[in-house]
Structure 1
Amino acid sequence: MRLGSCASLLLLLFGLSATSAQTATPGETCENRNSTNCEHCLENTSCLWCIKTKSCLTYPVKNILPPQSLCPLNDARWGLCSMNFQILIITVSVVVGVLIIAFFVCLFCCCKCENCGNANFDNRMQRQADKRKTKQEQRKAEMRSRHDEIRQKYGLSKASPYARFENPA
């Protein structure tokens, strides 16, 4: 059922694009096509076919949808004889709703993933900085211990490097 509705919508859109270039002859109005069928009536894009009254009417451009008094939505045909306005409204609203939901889901996922990616990147950089700092502190401690060993070997005190020279023995 949905596949048929989508296919009908696509046919309607293609039909509208194909017939949009067609215009009625200057003296011919939609009401002159009342004695014809739906296909002949809808050759002109400004015409509306009403199945209930089997009449060809000029589409009321002031209204988005034809009023109920002119022709019920279930019986009104425009663009394609096989699709009424109710099916068209439902199909278009479902497609638009799905597109809006998909847009917001993608937007939410992209923002969330981007924030997670930044947080992960920041955490990884912080861990690397902590590792470098730890290694640097270890190297400093090793250098201090080596320097202390050298000072002890040559009798230099850590308090004053010139203590040896001040107290000659």
Structure 2
Amino acid sequence: MLSVVCTRLTMSGVYRASAFAFLLIFYGVFLTTEAQTPTPSPAPTHCASRSNSSCAECLHNVTCLWCSPTKQCIDYPVRNILPPSSVCPLSDARWGLCWVNFQILIITMSVLGGIIVIGLLVCCCRCCKCGRNGNKKEDAKVERQTRARKSRQKAKSTEMQLRHDEIRQKYGMAKDNPYARMNNH
């Protein structure tokens, strides 16, 4: 019962963080789909031909990267995950949406990833801690059983000793002094 309550309390915080992250991602995807209406392009054009135009016009093609200060539309450098600063500084580079720059995107994704990892670690630690409390209960039960077994053994040993003493008295072998040697009569 305690583990269920502990799990519910732990998971409620994790669920809130997960739900918040999901809502942020869903909101971003929703805005992305709303902001970019799909327009069929008759033929793909090179990004360089869209230079000195607008960011929105450049980013109609998903392979293009817009650099704000130079107003250049360039092919996205696919060999690199992030565009090198020689092509365009991260804070000025736009890809996908005109209002999202790479620097903010990297920071946001890092923070969200860190929150998810920390949430999972906290959840795992809490679950392990609740599991250890269950083991403590089992350990206490085993210890009680061991003590009961030892007390029964002690009672049987005492009973056996009394029986042996009665037999010694019956046959005249009782010792007045337990440390004295037994004499043959």
Mark yes or no: TM-score above 0.5.
yes
Residue from 85, 110, 129 that aligns with 1:68: 85
> TM (normalized to structure 2)?
0.59
State whether residues 15 and 80 of structure 1, in contact with CA within 8 Å, keep that contact through their aligned partners in structure 2: yes
Asked which structure has the greater RCO (Cα within 8 Å, sep 6+), the reply is 2
Match of 2:129 among 108, 112, 137: 112
Establish whether residue 96 from structure 1 lines up as the match of residue 113 from structure 2.
yes
What SS does the corresponding residue of 2:109 show, helix, strand or coil? helix
The ranges of structure 1 where at least 4 consecutive aligned residues each deviate by more than 3 angstroms after the TM superposition are 6-10, 21-27, 128-139
Q: Is the 8 A contact 1:34 1:56 kept in 2?
A: yes
> Among 48, 55, 75, which residue is 2:72 paired with?
55
Indicate the structure (1 or 2) with the bigger Cα radius of gyration: 1
User: Structure 2 unaligned runs (5+)?
Assistant: 1-19, 163-169, 172-185
For the residues of structure 2 that align with 1:62 and 1:136, how far apart are their CA atoms?
77
After TM superposition, the structure 1 = structure 2 runs for residues 31-50 of structure 1, keeping only pairs within 5 Å, are 31-50=48-67
Provide the alpha-carbon RMSD of the alignment: 4.0
The 3 A distance-change label for structure 1 pair 10 and 52 is farther
SS in 2 for 1:44: coil
1:57 Cα offset (Å): 1.2
Count of aligned residue pairs for this structure pair: 150
Counterparts of residues 1-169 of structure 1 (less than 5 Å): 7=24, 10-11=27-28, 15=32, 25-128=42-145, 130-131=147-148, 134=151
Name the residue aligned to 2:175: none
State the 1:35 CA deviation: 3.8
TM-score normalised per structure 1: 0.63
| Aligned residue identity for 1:58 | D
In structure 1, the gaps of 5 or more residues are 146-155, 158-169
Residues 1:32 and 1:10: Cα distance change in structure 2 (over 3 Å):
farther
